[in-house]
Amino acid sequence: MILRMEESSSPNPRKAALTESLLRIVVERGLDQVSVREVASAAGVSIGTVQHYFPTKDEMLAAAFAEVVRRVRARLESVELGDDVRRNLSTVLQEFLPLDARRSEEARIMVAFSARAATSPELAEVQRGVLGEIHEALSEAFARAANGRADEAETKRTAHIAIAAADGLALHAVSAPRWISRPELAATLELLLNRLLPREKDASTS
Amino acid sequence: MILRMEESSSPNPRKAALTESLLRIVVERGLDQVSVREVASAAGVSIGTVQHYFPTKDEMLAAAFAEVVRRVRARLESVELGDDVRRNLSTVLQEFLPLDARRSEEARIMVAFSARAATSPELAEVQRGVLGEIHEALSEAFARAANGRADEAETKRTAHIAIAAADGLALHAVSAPRWISRPELAATLELLLNRLLPREKDASTS
């Protein structure tokens, strides 16, 4: 699962601190509570300082979303992958589910930005980019698992289902309290892979 | 697919008009643009009038979310269902995908409220309720389709996958422009059902 590192990430430390404050607000109070004023207050700087780095709120949000995407990408690149396609798919998709505190925070952030992208062209571009990268990587994995027994259209649709189901499970887990437990999330992901990958008896290539 | 009608829907016409104005703002500008002031302005009434019906913004949002859920429920109840479980599942899940202008608007609204539920206990309760109803109905349908060949845990997880994939596809379609076309959304849903339902050769009960 190789997600391309499309841009270098050596952000200005001041800018990085502002982004961190912004993401903290999103996790704790929600994206609708983010404003230049709130970020300045949370970071302990003046409104003018925030505006120096981010002239508009939309630019500030897009930079924060891009930063989260960079983190997800970096983590996916560091995942230990082997020859077992199914295990690789499981490992990668688990990164999108709120299975521990870190991933819960990240899922809350991703859900908030994804939803906001519906009415923000800047965020929509970021969203389209990250979906494209993940979709390409998953399509490759499903094509390898199908081993010639699925055409390209089917492989791409299978990848759409996998990303959509993972994001949908994350959305439901963060938006409805006590709706689905972490073990149940993990078990549901495994059942999804059982259904999307060729069955053992079909998969023999010998 | 029977979703329970849990509350009667004979809202005050004034209140209904305010909710309509609020939903219009969500579709056109996003949930973060909703405020008592904006709703009053869009509906052509005073701020005091809005506050008379909805003392707090959270109550106003929860009422609007509940109204959308009522509409979805009413539409699902009016769907013509037959004995073909697969066709029923397809018909119902299609209602959650932005396959035409009406469903696109509704998907935008559902995505926005679902995401906001992550930081709003009032909205989270509504979200949990609607997920519970849909999950119960889908679990029944998948249990019927499995015809005794799947245990309850598997049936419930299958229903989780179906709702999550449908909501995830809707989220991606409304948040990333030109990411996935309507025909491709519909084809992806059919592939999902192919994968989740017993295969023809396994499903014979004769």
Per the CB < 8 A criterion, the answer to whether A172 and B164 are in contact is yes
Residue A43 pLDDT level (bands cut at 50, 70, 90)? very high
Per residue in B32-62, pLDDT (tens digit) is 899 999 999 999 999 999 999 999 998 999 9
Cβ–Cβ gap A176/B30 under 8 Å:
no
Q: pLDDT tens for residues A59-76? A: 999 999 999 999 988 988
Contact A171 B171 (CB under 8 A): yes
Q: What is the pLDDT of residue A98?
A: 96
Other beta carbons less than 10 A from residue A51's beta carbon: 15
Name the residue among A6, A43, A9 with its Cα closest to residue A24: A43
Catalogue the E-assigned strands of B131-201. none
Give per-residue pLDDT as tens, B17-29.
Answer: 999 999 999 999 9
Q: What is the pLDDT of residue B148?
A: 86
A147 or A173: which carries more pLDDT confidence? Answer: A173
List C-alpha distances in Å: A88 to A73, A85, A138, A195, B182: 15, 5, 10, 16, 30
- Tell me the pLDDT band of B198, cut-offs 50, 70 and 90: confident
Confidence of residue A10 (pLDDT cuts 50, 70, 90): low
Angle at B121 between CA A179 and CA A168, to 5 degrees: 40
pLDDT grade for B201, boundaries at 50, 70 and 90? low
What average pLDDT does range A104-123 have in this prediction?
A: 93
How would residue A6 be classed by pLDDT, with cut points 50, 70 and 90?
Answer: very low
pLDDT over 80 (residue A5)? no
Q: How far lies B122's CA from each of A11, A104, B56, B64, in Å?
A: 38, 20, 11, 11
pLDDT for A142: 95
Please give the Cα distance from B151 to B203 (Å, whole number).
Answer: 15
pLDDT at A11 (0 to 100): 64
Average pLDDT in chain B: 89
Query: CA A21, A24, A26, A28: dihedral to nearest 10 degrees?
Result: -140
| Chain B residues within 8 A of A132 when measuring between CB atoms | 179
Kindly indicate the confidence band of residue A82, based on its pLDDT and cuts at 50, 70 and 90: confident
> Using a CB-CB distance cutoff of 8 angstroms, which residues of chain B are in contact with residue A128?
176-179
Provide, rounded to the nearest whole percent, the portion of chain B with pLDDT above 70.
91
- Residues in contact with B93: Cβ distance below 8 Å, sequence separation at least 6, in sequence order: B162, B166, B189, B192, B193
**B90: distance to nearest CA of chain A, Å?**
15
The residues in B 130-159 lying below 8 A from A, measured between CB atoms, are 131-132, 153-154, 157-158
What does the alpha-carbon distance between residue A64 and residue B176 come to, in Å, rounded to a whole number?
17
Task: Give the confidence band of A114 by pLDDT, cuts at 50, 70, 90.
Answer: very high
Give how far Cα B163 sits from Cα of A163, B90, B110, B132, Å.
13, 12, 13, 11
Choose between B109 and A12: higher pLDDT. Answer: B109
Assign B191 to helix, strand or coil. Answer: helix
List % helix, strand, coil for chain B (3-state, nearest 5): 75, 0, 25
**Per-residue pLDDT at B168:** 98
- Neighbour count for residue B86 (Cβ, 10 Å): 16
Q: Which of A32, A65, A109, A178 to mutate to test the interface with B (most CBs of B within 10 A)?
A: A32
Token pair belonging to A160: 């759409």
